[in-house]
Amino acid sequence: MKQMITLASVCLMMVGASSVSAQTVYDLPSKAAPVMVHDGSGVVFLGKDASVYRVFSWNASKKADFDLLMTDIDGDGKPNVVGAGKPTFVLNHDADPMWYLDKGCDQVIVQDFAADNKQDLMCLNGNDLTIYTHDGQLIWKARMNTRLGACKAADINGDLKADIECQLGKNKFTRFDGAQGQVLAESTDTSEIEETVYTKTTPVESTEEGTLLKKDLDGDGTEETISVSKKEIVVSGKEGEPKKFSTNTKKYKRVPVADLKSVMANGFEDNEAAQKVVTDLNDKLANCYASQVRKNQFAGQGDVLLEVKVGAKSKVEDVSLLHSGLADQGVAKCAIGVLKKGKYPASEAGGKLNIRMFYTFADK
């Protein structure tokens, strides 16, 4: 069992799996992505410029209690977006991918299983029941001899930690301690959890119909009107023609952006020449991200910090990853491979380069 990491508990909005075909617009407390539109094909986020900012699609689970949940999973006071299905994913309040499960989950429950002011994510897949922390770290995993049915979560022993009960066949149940995964009841006729209760729930602001929203997107004091139909998102309210966008997430193309923020060189006979080696590799470092983010929509955005150590004979001794803010590990792996092939200048005592890349994206 892995060491547990902290988790959260304020639900803001839950969209049932049965309502995936409806188009709904939501008012989000975000400057970068102040509006979210949800329909059966995915979610579309509008930016402060009243244009499409980011889009995501997934195969929503028909077995889950919800296909889209908004909750403060990491305890920072801002809502996260959790998608249930394949893949299963978590976005931060600005629509930045935080982490994802590529194989997805048949059922997802977000609850505080560790009683530490943050929330955890339960993933049910066939015989496997897995609990992850708010940032995607494994807490525990149980594999049963038979396929598990629908699960529910609630605190049944008063320890302030949610426990889990799953159907085992038609008339049997099995229960787990949510914090550590011990089996509390391997097979029993009696159910102790009536339903999963998402505490402190309040709806995200929208009209009763859910298809119309008025909001000042760019902070200039004038409200825009966002209306949603089956095929279109229309933004109007200022001078000029209304902006129209498709609700179909497959209509958009991902635009990756890579920025070489800094290159620090020390210990080389010519530090500037060592820096130039890295700047000349910038296009290849950028392509590491572009190739991944186009095939993995949840690759994420953020800084990647790398360190290159060069020996006395200009031979690369090591390239190490110091930090990655991305959800996809393939970007850093590719960047390490690019930097290993660099032709660096000589260094008597050994030279060192510290590189900071920033990767992000938009959908157009």
Domains contained in the chain, number: 2
Average pLDDT over residues 178-199: 88
Q: How far is CA 59 from the centre of its chain?
A: 15
CATH of residue 324 = 3.30.2420
- 288 with 334: CB under 8 angstroms? yes
Rounded CA separation 259/278 (Å): 13
Instruction: Say if 243 falls within a structural domain.
Output: no
Give me Rg for the CA atoms of the chain.
Answer: 24
Is the confidence at residue 208, as pLDDT, over 90?
Answer: no
Residue 15 pLDDT level (bands cut at 50, 70, 90): low
The boundaries of the domain holding residue 41 are 11-188
Shared domain check, 164 and 31: yes
Which residues neighbour 103 within 8 Å (Cβ) at sequence distance 6 or greater? 86, 87, 125
Bridge partners (DSSP) listed for residue 142: 129
Strands across the sheet containing 11-16: 11-16, 66-71, 80-83, 88-91, 97-101
- 299 with 318: CB under 8 angstroms? no
User: Which pLDDT belongs to residue 159?
Assistant: 84
> 234-269 burial, b for 16+ CB within 10 Å, e for fewer?
ebeeeeeeebebebbbeebebebebebeebebeebe
Instruction: Say if 230 falls within a structural domain.
Output: no
Instruction: Say if 138 falls within a structural domain.
Output: yes
Residue 114 pLDDT level (bands cut at 50, 70, 90): confident
Which range has highest mean pLDDT (54-63, 65-74, 354-363)?
Answer: 354-363
pTM: 0.88
User: Which pLDDT belongs to residue 209?
Assistant: 55
Shared domain check, 172 and 32: yes
Rounded CA separation 171/182 (Å): 22
Which residues neighbour 209 within 8 Å (Cβ) at sequence distance 6 or greater? none
Shared domain check, 18 and 126: yes
Q: Which amino acid is at 90?
A: V
Final residue belonging to a domain, choices 133, 156, 188: 188
Is the confidence at residue 288, as pLDDT, over 80?
Answer: yes
Shared domain check, 268 and 354: yes
For 133-161, how does the pLDDT look when each residue is reduced to its tens digit (9 = 90+)?
999 999 999 999 999 999 999 998 888 88
Rounded CA separation 130/244 (Å): 42
DSSP of 261-321: EEEEEESSSSHHHHHHHHHHTHHHHHHHHHHHHHH-TT---EEEEEEEEE-TTS-EEEEEE
- 53 with 34: CB under 8 angstroms? no
For 242-265, how does the pLDDT look when each residue is reduced to its tens digit (9 = 90+)?
999 999 999 999 999 999 999 999
